[in-house]
Amino acid sequence: MLLALALIAPLAAAQESGSTAAQKPGGAATPDAPESGSAATPGSESTAAPESVSAAPPESKSWWRKSLDAVNYTTPDALATKDAQGEDRGWFSGTWDGTKRIWRDGKYDVYLSGYTWHMPFAYTKQQRLQENHNTFGLGFGKTLTDERDNQYSLYGLVFSDSHYKPEYNLGYAWVARWRVVDGVRVGAGYTLALVSRSDINNYVPFPAVAPLLSIGNNTFTVFGTYIPGSASVAYFFGRISFDVK
């Protein structure tokens, strides 16, 4: 999705520049001006001067800037009010304002964890038998859906990890969604979280990022993610969303 946004941006910029060029005047002077041999009157000079100066076309964004804009769209800054997104406020101000909007305007979520599949290439059969696959747990959060049907989420989640010890997660997620049939949607995105585990620095929190895939509707969604490296596991969990009036 991020790559698609980055590729669409140059097309949008090209269309914008094309429409701007089409709106420019066809000539800088009136038809009679070049045929007249007489000196121009003061009145004609005052009208010809502004016509001879063409407006500079809008400066197009670089590929790098368009890519940054596409990535920024997936952050809470995209939800911020115009005042919070002003040039004198900065990205952090917009992100904080967008985060508050998710928490204020989003639907309530209950997270249900979950199942963990330990990859056969990373674990022996004996190790897989010893690991905990039923990583049950519970979480709470809020999700805001934008006008493109993409979702911005804040969540906290606690569940039993592969070693039967509690794992704590506090994070943010963004998912782009596409309708496939009726109210069913598939999605893809990412999550950023602070994670605390017993087997990593004795529960000292550390940052983590992971991809997300989803399928569901506006009420119930199943998510899947893959944790690479030494973990090498696929993790699945569910989310129930509801409004509280």
Residues with catalytic roles: 118, 161-162
| Residue type (1 letter), 34 | P
Burial of 131 (0-12, 13-18, 19+ CB in 10 A): middle
DSSP for 123-170? Answer: S-HHHHHHS-----EEEEEEEEE-TTS-EEEEEEEEEE-TTSSEEEEE
- Distance (Å, rounded) from C-alpha 112 to C-alpha 30? 73
Contact present, 191 and 212 (Cβ < 8 Å): yes
